[in-house]
Structure 1
Amino acid sequence: MKTLIKLLMMAVLTGGLLHAAGFEKTATFRTTKVVMSVEKPLAVGSNTLELMLTLDAKVSEGAAVSLKVFMPAMPGMPAMESVVDATSLGGGKYKADVNFSMGGTWQIHILITPKTGKRIRVKTSVNI
């Protein structure tokens, strides 16, 4: 009986690890909503972020999107910054390859320039 329970527990834990959740975070600014997601959990190194944009509760098509990813300077360490352009996947989805060079809290500014209207900056942060 104990062996059966152990095998059952191992199966449940293994199944949970195989379906480990990636990363998803929602950031908003006024009527702009950005849902950031990654298939795997964020890690030091290169990460491919997928962004889903909605402006005024409508899917945003054809906007120019870029990301400014940075970590402010700290004692004994200079500031780190990277700016990348996102590519449109259609349907309001965008993709950007971002490199987090070390662990810690990274600030992310998502800069959206819609076809019409003013440029929008949505701010958020992630912990690596």
Structure 2
Amino acid sequence: MKKLLKIFTALVLGVTLLQAAAFEKTAKGGGTEIMISSDKPLTPGNNKLLITIKDTKYKDAKVSVKVFMPEMPGMPRMEAEADATAMGDGMYDADLNFSMSGTWQVWVYIAPTDGKKVRIKTSLNI
């Protein structure tokens, strides 16, 4: 019975840790909703973000991402930009470098083949 309890506890902890490893955030702007996610927790350095556009009218759009941390006393503004790669079904992949921990502003630009460009603003804590 004790062995069964240990196995059950290990499985519960394993599943809990696997779910805690991913990052996910929803943001809205310009009448459009997106989800920003990552396979691993965001850390300083290189990170891969997956951007999913919920609105079908933007499924074939060009997507770019800009992240920045405003300047603070004794520290310059930090910024990184990336053009996202289309993966199909409204999903886009972008590689970004967060140079340090802290709160980063995120602007996602969605440019459809025809129509008005949309900017969605949110923030992330690294």
- Equivalent residue in structure 2 for 1:80, among 78, 81, 93: 78
Query: Structure 1 CA distance, aligned partners of 2:123 and 2:60?
Result: 25
**How far did residue 4 of structure 1 move?**
5.3
Listed as ranges, the matches of 1:87-126 within 5 Å are 87-126=85-124
Q: Does 1:46 align with 2:46?
A: yes
Contact 1:59 1:91 in 2 (8 A): no
Listed as ranges, the matches of 1:26-41 within 5 Å are 26-41=26-41
**How far did residue 16 of structure 1 move?**
2.3
**How far did residue 12 of structure 1 move?**
2.9
TM-score, normalised to structure 1, is 0.86
- Name the % identity: 49
* Aligned residue number for residue 17 of structure 1: 17
Query: Structure 2 CA distance, aligned partners of 1:45 and 1:111?
Result: 22
Q: Please, which runs of 5 or more residues in structure 1 have no aligned partner? A: none
Q: Please, which runs of 5 or more residues in structure 2 have no aligned partner? A: none
Considering only aligned residues, what root-mean-square deviation do their CA atoms show, in Å? 1.9
Contact 2:58 2:110 in 1 (8 A): no
